[in-house]
Structure 1
Amino acid sequence: MIRYPVLEEGAAIGVTAPSSGVNKELHDLLRLAGKRMEQMGFRLLYGQAVWTQMKAKSAPAQKRAAELNEWMQNDPIRLIFPPWGGELIIEILEHIDFENVKPKWILGYSDISVLLLAITLKTGIATAHGTNLIDLRGEYSDPTTAMWLQVLQTQAGESITQHSSSNYQKEWNYANPSPCVFHLTERTYWKVTGRTEVHLRGRLLGGCIDVIRHLIGTPFGNLRHFQNHFINHEPILWYLENCELSATDLRRSLVQMKLAGWFDNCAGVMFGRSAANQPVDGYTAEDVYDELANELQVPIVYDIDCGHVPPQITFINGACAEVEVKDGKGIVRQTFKP
């Protein structure tokens, strides 16, 4: 059975950096994001690693893992909220004390999704894929991003519904900061291969495919164990997003997932918008989606609100989800079923 943490009002939030920390010149952004959380009534605790960054990581792997282990076992902390992603979170997995992890939320995306997926697969504790802390520094959040709080306050057995965004951000414009952080200028349109509408149902799992693919074949990516011990072989509904992969590298990664059995008993696959997906010799991401749909014989949805092209829906690894897509609009209803 899946165990769901709950984020109570006024709870303590632990800010640590299991992947990348924050360079000194950006500390003000982190403090501002923390101030916004405090204005919402939360109490923030900062780890040492969050303030440092050197050689593509916040600190050596064992130091990052020790701080995370301490906070995963610290009762007052109800949410662990990294500032953002990074590159090398996979280094800490062998040092994490999974046996003594307590149910508490971890929220993030990008490289953080390696940790999220590993914890859910090994322990059956739900984890949250969504906004990072730095992007909550604005005076307010757009409606899609702001749903992170309601989702994390949902009780076990209850349901929460989210809707596709009205607009998304095409590119970052740091020279023109806005009260909402994101510049949402482009019309959102969810697409389905070979059709215009679809209804999906399954247990959610996913993350940034660039990095979660490296869990395949390791003790931290044992999908079969998760299916047998935590969800009673219910179908899996995958959500994936591509940060930097070309179309051919995306294809290789998906074939590897298929050959490793990660798409066995799959209800469907959803792909986030991507600024990567560069064609190779005329071979496009849409070609990849079509081929995957034909091979798996399941619906493929793409350009959803997930990943590095904000805003994004908060997806809960382990939750039961019903997803409806029609005329470019999406509805995601997650039920926190044990």
Structure 2
Amino acid sequence: MRKLSFLKPKSKIALIAPSFGCQDEPYKSRLEQAIKHFEQLGYNIQVSPLAFRSMRVESAPPKERADDFMRAWLDEDIDFIFSVSGGELMNEILDYLDFEVIKKAPHPKFLLGYSDNTNLSFLLPVLADIPAFYGPHFPEFGCLKWDDFVKQTYDFITGKIRLQHSFDYYQSEDLRQQSGHFLDSINADQKSEWKSLDKKRSISLEGRLIGGCLDVLLTLIGTKYDKVADFVERYKDEGIIWFLETYDLSVLDTCRALWQLKNAGWFKYCKGLVIGRPLQREALYDFSYEEALTRQLKDLGVPVLYDVDVGHVPPSITLVNGSYSRICYRDGKGTIEFLKF
């Protein structure tokens, strides 16, 4: 795995929109405020023309979005790339990317994004052995007052900390969609508790961390971009820790998706799984979220943590996709520590 530099003072940052852009509120105001924050911190911000653009379900046609990423990736003056948004059709840019060119670039850099950005944050380590951050988009830094969630994210991507702690509360309802509240911090109002599927009180895991948004990963299975078998073989001696989180998937969708990953061979050499809090966890036909996880993952015989602070329900811990990391859990709380590239 390539070694990358964390975000350094006065770095030049590229803001790109490989999926949606931030034309509409509240994302436009948040993006503008985040740019102000980072400029005040001394960073040089290069804003893509696509960052504030939206054309129904995308910021631009697929090739234009792919070119936008490649310009930032190959620009040796750019030190760090932030995605401004997730979306729905980022997978379409993959056909316009050359991962051999990406792999051989003289100045690789961190990309930070999540959700639809799984298309890059997952494939960069799998196809090119280049790690990527899986965490909040740039507008999340646009709240007027940075809370513990934003502060921990910033401290991690700047390399000030390597160990991140679980949060005490999570957001059950996003109030920031309301006019006058666009720049508020998250509404962390529900007690956060990590859970162990086998009810163990204490778990410690080390291994090669890989994963992303399960909704997106499903679109990659069986395609020419599915080189997971090669990736897990490269790192089998360290063992693989999968992290997964969902957006649109229902309880039954999640059950089917996990079955698909398992039968595609993705969980070979798996040492454990970390499952983020789902947006859609309502039981269907008396079939619960916990039952979906147990039904598909119990036979792996490895620890499974769920309701972890990762993914679409903030606050979330930023992960280094492709890194060697340690996850520790005890009595509902936990830590995730980046150990090495």
Give the alignment's TM-score, normalised by structure 1: 0.93
Equivalents in 2 of 1:250, 1:73: separation in Å? 37
What is the SS of the residue equivalent to 2:242?
strand
Of 12-21 and 232-241, deviating more is 232-241
What is the SS of the residue equivalent to 2:22?
coil
Of 286-295 and 83-92, deviating more is 286-295
Gaps of at least 5 residues in structure 2 are: none
Q: In structure 1, what residue type is equivalent to 2:53?
A: T
Whether 1:261 aligns to 2:262 is no
Pick the aligned partner of 1:152 from 157, 163, 166.
157
Change (3 A) 1:280 1:24: closer
- Once the two structures are TM-superposed, the CA of residue 55 in structure 1 deviates from its matched residue by 2.6
Change (3 A) 1:178 1:20: closer
- Once the two structures are TM-superposed, the CA of residue 234 in structure 1 deviates from its matched residue by 2.3
What is the SS of the residue equivalent to 1:77?
coil
- Once the two structures are TM-superposed, the CA of residue 75 in structure 1 deviates from its matched residue by 1.1
Pick the aligned partner of 1:122 from 127, 148, 151.
127
2:143 aligned partner: 138
2:240 aligned partner: 236
Equivalents in 2 of 1:318, 1:64: separation in Å? 24
Q: In structure 2, what residue type is equivalent to 1:105?
A: F
1:23 aligned partner: 23
- Once the two structures are TM-superposed, the CA of residue 201 in structure 1 deviates from its matched residue by 1.5
Change (3 A) 1:226 1:261: same
CA contact (8 A) 2:35 2:142 kept: yes
Gaps of at least 5 residues in structure 1 are: none
CA contact (8 A) 1:2 1:318 kept: no
- Once the two structures are TM-superposed, the CA of residue 177 in structure 1 deviates from its matched residue by 2.4
What is the SS of the residue equivalent to 1:306?
coil
Q: In structure 1, what residue type is equivalent to 2:162?
A: I
Pick the aligned partner of 2:304 from 300, 307, 312.
300
What is the SS of the residue equivalent to 1:20?
coil
- Once the two structures are TM-superposed, the CA of residue 5 in structure 1 deviates from its matched residue by 3.5
Equivalents in 2 of 1:94, 1:179: separation in Å? 36
Matches within 5 A, 1:160-199: 160-174=162-176, 175=178, 177=181, 181-195=185-199, 196-199=201-204
Pick the aligned partner of 2:111 from 90, 106, 125.
106
Change (3 A) 1:184 1:24: closer
Equivalents in 2 of 1:86, 1:254: separation in Å? 22
Of 216-225 and 129-138, deviating more is 216-225
Q: In structure 2, what residue type is equivalent to 1:91?
A: E
Matched residue pairs, number? 333
2:206 aligned partner: 201
CA contact (8 A) 1:81 1:108 kept: yes
Equivalents in 1 of 2:237, 2:232: separation in Å? 5
Whether 1:222 aligns to 2:232 is no
CA contact (8 A) 1:293 1:299 kept: no
CA contact (8 A) 1:142 1:180 kept: no
Change (3 A) 1:113 1:48: same
- Once the two structures are TM-superposed, the CA of residue 317 in structure 1 deviates from its matched residue by 0.8
- Once the two structures are TM-superposed, the CA of residue 178 in structure 1 deviates from its matched residue by 7.8
| CA offsets 1:79-100 (integer angstroms, 9 cap, x no match) | 1111110100000011113222
Whether 1:80 aligns to 2:86 is no
Q: In structure 2, what residue type is equivalent to 1:249?
A: D
- Once the two structures are TM-superposed, the CA of residue 233 in structure 1 deviates from its matched residue by 4.2
- Once the two structures are TM-superposed, the CA of residue 179 in structure 1 deviates from its matched residue by 6.3
Of 1-10 and 191-200, deviating more is 1-10
Equivalents in 1 of 2:73, 2:98: separation in Å? 9
Equivalents in 1 of 2:151, 2:306: separation in Å? 22
Equivalents in 2 of 1:123, 1:277: separation in Å? 34
1:8 aligned partner: 8
Of 179-188 and 110-119, deviating more is 179-188
Q: In structure 1, what residue type is equivalent to 2:93?
A: I
2:98 aligned partner: 97
- Once the two structures are TM-superposed, the CA of residue 327 in structure 1 deviates from its matched residue by 1.0
Change (3 A) 1:232 1:190: closer
Percent identity of equivalent pairs: 32
CA contact (8 A) 1:138 1:180 kept: yes
1:272 aligned partner: 276
- Once the two structures are TM-superposed, the CA of residue 33 in structure 1 deviates from its matched residue by 1.3
Equivalents in 2 of 1:3, 1:122: separation in Å? 15
